Structure 1
Amino acid sequence: MEKITIIGLPMDLGQNRRGVDMGPSAIRYAEVVERLDSLGFDVEDSGDIMIGRPAQLDTSETKLNNLKEVTIGSRLLAEKVDAILGKNSFPLVLGGDHSIAIGTLAGASKHYENLGVIWFDAHGDLNTDETTPSGNIHGMSLAVSLGLGNDELVNIHGYSPKIKPENVVIIGARSLDEGERKLITAKEIKVFSMHEIDRRGMAAVIEETIAFFNEKTDGVHLSVDMDALDPIDAPGVGTPVLGGITYRESHLAMEMLSESGIVTSAEFVEVNPILDDKNKTATVAVALMGSLFGEKLV
């Protein structure tokens, strides 16, 4: 029986809208443990990593908001994910804003020679302290994992880079800053924008993604920002962008990834219950997790 270990990082300090720190609780309320149990997995919920909240939001000399707290949270999460994989369990991380991916990838990548990353997101999260328009670290997590940006973040868990640009696929992008566009071009990062999804269909996009990783990676981390979905289907996110991936397209993606067997760790982030409608977004996140772990309609 395959084992899944759930770990939450209820942190909203990587961005500037309160509420996403309640994401792990909302996902648990939507019965993620029960859902995965019903699929026959040995599920351990190891609870949440708790970090302190500053008395006032910190903008340091580096221009990065709450750098100290995000660094602490990332270090703790990296240690936890590293330990989970060391016990041959599948790490399922619940966010929290997308800055938590810094810790997840730092912990996961130590276990692979060439870890692939599927970045299921409306945004690229490829800003650095030099290009960020906001100072929010949740918009830098993929760049940090590539070894770009603030030294404290880049070197979390004692090594850098965590991943290679040629092992990254971004799916669902439709809101990229100028600095991110330049970095994508310079590093030749593979991006399936909404234009590509609309034109070619999700099935073709995922088939190409799977083939892309089968050729060169020994593990794949799936990072799902719920704002990848259209706000009609996932309204409870901090940075909604119209024209996103549909509910059904998202399920198809998860189902195909499940069938491929390539995903070795995952996180679901940016669920904000304060902005949600009757916990709809957390419920959708749990349904997507069900599809990722093999749930079928018939």
Structure 2
Amino acid sequence: MNSSTPHLSSSSQWEDGHTPIDQPQRVRLIGAPCDAGAARAGARLGPDALRIAGLADALAAQGVAVQDGGNLRGPASAVHRQPRPDRSGLHHLDACVRWCGLVHEAVAQALAGGSLPLLLGGDHHLAMGSIPAVAQHCARQGKTLRVVWLDAHADCNDARSSPSGNIHGMPVSVLLGHGPQALQALARPPLPATALRQVGLRSVDAAEKARIARFGIEAYDMRAIDELGMPEVMRRVLRDVHAPDVHLHLSFDVDFLDPELAPGTGTTARGGPTYREAQLCMEMLADTGCLGSMDLVELNPVLDVRNQTAELVLDLLQSLFGKSTLVRAAS
């Protein structure tokens, strides 16, 4: 956030002596109704499903001024799985590149205007548009960027290793400087691997395992969460995330959540975090006071049950923006 962004001062205190969470008060919603990078149609309906579920009111209840920028208008691309194109080996490459360009521009404008951009997807390939815009903003502001990637999948394939050819399975590789040139051009300069922390992994391809090790990505799978506990995992993830020098970007894939809690997503994987573990993630992210931008992706209302996934996501977002059961002392 730039210096003009309104926020709660980290030095101010409530009358009882507790320090409030330092959070931006102005959020700009950016809808990207695109599922060109996904395996199943429906994520394009995610932005409007979140609005219908009451996203703006949920954020306003936490003292956030919400500016809804509406939905971006990009190329249509129905998700029909034909044999892979011979040229790229990827589905809907041109459409994905165009969508990411639109997202990049919208996120950059929100940041320049002093707002926290909340990207409403759409599928996760859109992070190749949002995160580079955030990185460039941080470079101009002299901020250190930290990206927390909550996801069941590593998203670390490329055109050769991807078993599906779906581009939502490769944004991490591209953001770190690997993958098709048309996609790498969106993410310049590439992120250093040290900027990225992945949490919740439990569906990782063999090639992705090797890349995580080779790239040096800090990744916590569900076994790590089981053994260490979510509090310790998040303490490690956030160990160097401190206001005011760090800009925290949250890339939140709905399939991070256990599908028994959140069925409304296209690539579910059993054995995900519980409701309380997910809430703790959000609360600890909020406690940093560093949240400056966010992706919320892969909500597929076509697959949801009585809108329970959208409603759960709004519940978690309220915690991310400061809702808590009690006033908590600053750590």
Q: What is the CA–CA distance in structure 2 between the aligned matches of 1:169 and 1:139, rounded to whole Å?
A: 17
Alpha-carbon displacement from aligned partner over 1:74-104 (angstroms, at most 9, x marks no partner): 0000001011101111011111111111111
Identity %: 37
Q: Secondary structure at the match of 1:27?
A: helix
- After TM superposition, give the deviation of residue 55 of structure 1 in Å: 6.9
Q: What is the CA–CA distance in structure 2 between the aligned matches of 1:259 and 1:37, rounded to whole Å?
A: 19
Match of 2:237 among 204, 209, 227: 209
Match of 2:286 among 238, 258, 261: 258
Structure 2 unmatched ranges of 5 or more: 1-5, 7-24, 327-331
Change in 2 beyond 3 A, CA 1:75/1:295: same
- After TM superposition, give the deviation of residue 56 of structure 1 in Å: 7.8
Q: What is the CA–CA distance in structure 2 between the aligned matches of 1:178 and 1:266, rounded to whole Å?
A: 29
Q: What is the CA–CA distance in structure 1 between the aligned matches of 2:131 and 2:91, rounded to whole Å?
A: 21
State the match for 1:229 in structure 2: 257
Match of 1:79 among 99, 105, 123: 105
**What letter matches 1:275 in structure 2?**
L
Paired residues for 1:151-230 under 5 Å: 151-156=181-186, 159-161=188-190, 163-214=191-242, 218-230=246-258
Q: What is the CA–CA distance in structure 2 between the aligned matches of 1:53 and 1:16, rounded to whole Å?
A: 15
Paired residues for 1:36-55 under 5 Å: 36-54=59-77
Alpha-carbon displacement from aligned partner over 1:89-121 (angstroms, at most 9, x marks no partner): 101111111111111112111011442111100
Q: What is the CA–CA distance in structure 2 between the aligned matches of 1:45 and 1:143, rounded to whole Å?
A: 31
2:89 aligned with 1:63? yes
Q: What is the CA–CA distance in structure 1 between the aligned matches of 2:135 and 2:303, rounded to whole Å?
A: 33
C-alpha contact (below 8 Å) 1:167/1:213 kept by paired residues: no
State the match for 2:28 in structure 1: 5
2:127 aligned with 1:101? yes
C-alpha contact (below 8 Å) 2:253/2:298 kept by paired residues: yes
- After TM superposition, give the deviation of residue 52 of structure 1 in Å: 2.2
- After TM superposition, give the deviation of residue 291 of structure 1 in Å: 0.7
Q: What is the CA–CA distance in structure 2 between the aligned matches of 1:262 and 1:146, rounded to whole Å?
A: 22
Bigger fraction of residues in helix: 1
**What letter matches 1:160 in structure 2?**
P
Alpha-carbon displacement from aligned partner over 1:30-73 (angstroms, at most 9, x marks no partner): 11101111211111010111222247857431111100111000
State the match for 1:297 in structure 2: 325
Match of 2:155 among 125, 146, 150: 125
TM-score under structure 2 normalisation?
Answer: 0.86
Alpha-carbon displacement from aligned partner over 1:184-238 (angstroms, at most 9, x marks no partner): 11111111110011111111111111114449x7312100111111001101110
Q: What is the CA–CA distance in structure 2 between the aligned matches of 1:67 and 1:272, rounded to whole Å?
A: 21
Q: What is the CA–CA distance in structure 1 between the aligned matches of 2:131 and 2:30, rounded to whole Å?
A: 14
State the match for 2:274 in structure 1: 246
Q: Secondary structure at the match of 1:211?
A: coil
Q: What is the CA–CA distance in structure 2 between the aligned matches of 1:227 and 1:56, rounded to whole Å?
A: 19
Match of 2:314 among 266, 269, 286: 286
C-alpha contact (below 8 Å) 2:75/2:99 kept by paired residues: no
Alpha-carbon displacement from aligned partner over 1:120-164 (angstroms, at most 9, x marks no partner): 00000011112111110000011111111011111127x231x21
Structure 1 unmatched ranges of 5 or more: none
State the match for 1:27 in structure 2: 50
**What letter matches 2:72 in structure 1?**
I
Q: What is the CA–CA distance in structure 1 between the aligned matches of 2:189 and 2:207, rounded to whole Å?
A: 21
- After TM superposition, give the deviation of residue 16 of structure 1 in Å: 2.0
Q: What is the CA–CA distance in structure 2 between the aligned matches of 1:128 and 1:219, rounded to whole Å?
A: 28
Task: Report the more deviating stretch, 58-67 or 288-297.
Answer: 58-67
Structure 1: which 4+ aligned runs deviate by more than 3 Å?
Answer: 54-60, 212-215
- After TM superposition, give the deviation of residue 258 of structure 1 in Å: 0.3
